Chains A and B, each alone.
Chain A
Amino acid sequence: MGEENAASQLRLSSARRRIDAFIEQIDVLAASSFPHDDGRAALAAIRKHCKDLQADLDLPVGVRTDVVDHLCLNLLDKVDKFTAILGFILRSTNVRNPFELHYIVKKLVSRALDGDVSLLISSEWTYVPFTYPMSVDQLPDAILIGTPAPESGNPLLIPLAGHEVGHSAWRMYGCSPLYARMANQAVKEEIDRNKEAGKALLEAAPLKALDKDRVINQCAGHVMEQLEEIFCDLFGLYLFGYGFIAAFDYLLGPGGHVRGLDYPSDDQRMAILVEAAGDKVEGALDLRLDAAMAAHWTVAAPSLADKAGAEIVDAVTRSMVPQVRTDLFARLQSLGINPPQQHVIDNVLQAFERGEPYPERVELGEIVSAGWHRLRALDLAPCRGADEEEKRGNRSKSYKVLADLVLKTIEVAEYHDRIAGHA
């Protein structure tokens, strides 16, 4: 018993040291220069939770070992989780981030999610596009957006944040219960319709026909996962228009990444975006796409084992996309959000071509879409210079000027809102 007590005391001491050190680190971070209040507020929320964890460790001598172990495990789990967030908050203060984005992105996200949110925009060294939904119970209203660190100063990548925010919208709009029943029914019908793939799928199940419901549920689960990803893409598309497709193409093109059943393939996602942006589809956004958007993407096939399942899941997902798109676009419209307007994009683009920021209050999606159009034009234009190095230098400078024009136009939007008392 005495040995057990001593072991518990030592474990508690270690846990106290861990949490003390963690809180001390939070206090050091709090002294950083925060570009906006949201980072400091997030830090304060985490600190408060850590102080509660610290207080939990004030146990009387002789408490049961399993209670101590449970507390220590809980604490270590939280510290692990918070450490990643702390790093994120620290990186959000780095001046390589374009801080001008904060106001306008926060405003857009608050409107789309129909509520107040706090926003942290940071840059990530381990960035993988579209797989960064970091959420913490203690920061329920916080949206964390990580951009790839080497290009953190590039405002044209911000449309991809639309996808991440889409995951929050999927939960907030209650999409899972809305589509789950439909997905289940559609899978049943597809298995009956596509006899060959349906048979192969059911035969691959350990209990064959007896296992039918489990297989159907599993497929419906994959459909729901895929639908959520597509919903997020469409969410980004609605908010950022052409800018979203261009950023998607920039970071993921030409596709061909290995795929599982929970994700639609990159080429499928691109095709869905292009269709939703086209002018021949009911409920489309009518965006002007360029040649790159029509380019073929590498088709990523699922593994052989998943082939039959993919056939069923992909077909069901495809059949449900129009419904999801219509519902989403109607929802966003009901919140008073309009997709980027082409005539506004054209006006902003003309200003960029003259080397000027746009002087009026326009939406973020319109600014970044114009930015992408300008970037594409610069990519295709011959560059001046006596030799290759000078040409590269001039091209690089023109990209930097464009990024500055985009960010200054974003700042001008904030300026107008503040002057009008809307900020």
Chain B
Amino acid sequence: MLNADEICIRLEHDPGHVDRLAIVPRPDQAILRARGGTSVDLRLGRWFRSFKPSKSSEAKLWLEPSAAAPPLDADLGDLPAERQWAPPARDAMRTSEHFVRFGANFVLHPGRFVLGVTMEWLSLPRTLSGYVSGKSSLGRHGLVIETAAGLHPGFSGCLTLELANVGEVPVAISPGMEICQIFLHRVEQHECDDPGTFSGQRKPAISLPKRDAIFDRLRGAEPYSAAALR
């Protein structure tokens, strides 16, 4: 795990350096070094995404072949089988976005869950990975942030945060406040073409896991096909 000095060294590398870490806006390195910890605090951004009440009895957390998902003008009969597998719903259909300006609050009521986003945009080199963790000072008030989310080498974008109030009173959160922390680890350099599904986004992202052909086969959703496993 990187300590504060090692993190600062990576933040100061020139563009193009293989170990360069970018965090924008930049954290105050004097504070980072003075604190001497092993993490970087990140701030809450201004975009949130909450789930809409729905008529559906459930939300399946896997991809289904769905007639509703393809474009409106698609003729399903003409689509190859693999193309008929598509996300069951666009983000907008199940969730609502909210923008909270600096100085205003978002109130999270007990038992409620919302997606937030870090104000900072991170760009990890291929030589670093990490994980996001909540801050205990907030957790003690019932605000749970993230659940051991991994940061993959090469990730670039703002981090989506899963925020839940497991306490008994409503909690107010406000853009710009320190909301979570990241810990960073050195990894062996490797080529990675897929740094993560959500790379490069400034708003909270929501998506389902990638299609899992083995899972589909296990539940009898589709006959085995080699193409599906690719």
A95 in contact with B15 (CB, 8 Å): no
B24: chain A residues at CB < 8 Å are: 356-359, 408, 412
Answer whether A356 and B123 are a contact pair too, CB < 8 Å, given A99-B99, A418-B102: yes
B101 at the interface (CB under 8 A from A): yes
Whole-angstrom CA separation of A415 from B175 in the bound complex: 11
Of listed B157, B199, B202, residue having the most chain A CB within 10 A: B202
Whole-angstrom CA separation of A411 from B25 in the bound complex: 9
Q: Digitize B18-55: 1 where CB-to-A-CB distance is under 8 Å, 0 elsewhere.
A: 00001011100000000000000000001000000000
Contact residues of B between 121 and 152, Cβ < 8 Å to A: 121, 123
B97 at the interface (CB under 8 A from A): yes
Chain A residue with minimal CB distance to B154? Answer: A355
Whole-angstrom CA separation of A408 from B46 in the bound complex: 11
A100: chain B residues at CB < 8 Å are: 46
A359 in contact with B200 (CB, 8 Å): no
B201: chain A residues at CB < 8 Å are: 400-401, 404
B123 in contact with A95 (CB, 8 Å): no
A356 in contact with B121 (CB, 8 Å): yes
Of listed A95, A404, A408, A415, residue having the most chain B CB within 10 A: A408
A422 at the interface (CB under 8 A from B): no
A35 at the interface (CB under 8 A from B): yes
A35 in contact with B101 (CB, 8 Å): yes
Whole-angstrom CA separation of A355 from B154 in the bound complex: 11
Shortest C-beta distance, A357 to chain B (Å), equals 5
Whole-angstrom CA separation of A30 from B156 in the bound complex: 38
B25 in contact with A415 (CB, 8 Å): yes
B158 in contact with A354 (CB, 8 Å): no
Tally of contacts, chain A with chain B, CB under 8 A: 61
B99 in contact with A357 (CB, 8 Å): no
| Interface size, B (range) | 20 to 34
B184 at the interface (CB under 8 A from A): no
B98 at the interface (CB under 8 A from A): yes
Shortest C-beta distance, B17 to chain A (Å), equals 11
Whole-angstrom CA separation of A36 from B202 in the bound complex: 19
A408 in contact with B121 (CB, 8 Å): yes
Of listed A35, A36, A358, residue having the most chain B CB within 10 A: A35
Whole-angstrom CA separation of A401 from B158 in the bound complex: 11
Contact residues of A between 337 and 387, Cβ < 8 Å to B: 350-351, 354-359
B179 at the interface (CB under 8 A from A): no
Whole-angstrom CA separation of A416 from B46 in the bound complex: 16
Contact of A357 among B15, B97, B121 (CB under 8 A): B121
Chain B residue with minimal CB distance to A93? Answer: B99
Whole-angstrom CA separation of A35 from B101 in the bound complex: 6
Shortest C-beta distance, B42 to chain A (Å), equals 13
Interface of chain A: mostly helix, strand, loop or mixed: helix
A14 at the interface (CB under 8 A from B): no
| Interface size, A (range) | 20 to 34
Answer whether A404 and B101 are a contact pair too, CB < 8 Å, given A354-B15, A356-B24, A356-B123: no
Chain A residue with minimal CB distance to B96? Answer: A95
A95 in contact with B97 (CB, 8 Å): yes
Shortest C-beta distance, B46 to chain A (Å), equals 8
A35 in contact with B25 (CB, 8 Å): no
B46: chain A residues at CB < 8 Å are: 99-100, 411
A36 in contact with B15 (CB, 8 Å): no
Contact of B22 among A356, A401, A411 (CB under 8 A): A356
Q: Digitize A163-199: 1 where CB-to-B-CB distance is under 8 Å, 0 elsewhere.
A: 0000000000000000000000000000000000000
A408: chain B residues at CB < 8 Å are: 24, 121, 158, 202
Q: Digitize A285-306: 1 where CB-to-B-CB distance is under 8 Å, 0 elsewhere.
A: 0000000000000000000000
A35 in contact with B26 (CB, 8 Å): no
Whole-angstrom CA separation of A366 from B156 in the bound complex: 22
A359 in contact with B98 (CB, 8 Å): no
B119 at the interface (CB under 8 A from A): yes
Contact residues of B between 195 and 219, Cβ < 8 Å to A: 199-203
Contact residues of B between 87 and 102, Cβ < 8 Å to A: 96-99, 101-102
Shortest C-beta distance, B156 to chain A (Å), equals 5
A415 in contact with B121 (CB, 8 Å): no
A215 at the interface (CB under 8 A from B): no
Shortest C-beta distance, B81 to chain A (Å), equals 15
B101: chain A residues at CB < 8 Å are: 35-36, 99
Shortest C-beta distance, A70 to chain B (Å), equals 43
A354 in contact with B202 (CB, 8 Å): no
A33 at the interface (CB under 8 A from B): yes
Answer whether A400 and B156 are a contact pair too, CB < 8 Å, given A35-B101, A356-B24, A356-B121: no
Whole-angstrom CA separation of A357 from B121 in the bound complex: 7
A412 in contact with B25 (CB, 8 Å): yes
Shortest C-beta distance, A89 to chain B (Å), equals 16
Q: Digitize A389-417: 1 where CB-to-B-CB distance is under 8 Å, 0 elsewhere.
A: 00000000100110011011001101110
Besides A99-B46, A99-B99, A411-B119, 14 new A-B residue pairs in contact (Cβ under 8 A), listed by A number: A95-B98, A355-B156, A356-B22, A357-B121, A359-B22, A359-B25, A397-B200, A401-B201, A405-B121, A407-B202, A408-B202, A412-B24, A414-B102, A415-B25
A-B contact pairs, 6 of them (CB 8 A): A354-B22, A354-B123, A397-B200, A401-B201, A404-B201, A404-B203
Query: CB within 8 Å of A: which residues of B?
Result: 15, 22, 24-26, 46, 96-99, 101-102, 119, 121, 123, 156-158, 199-203
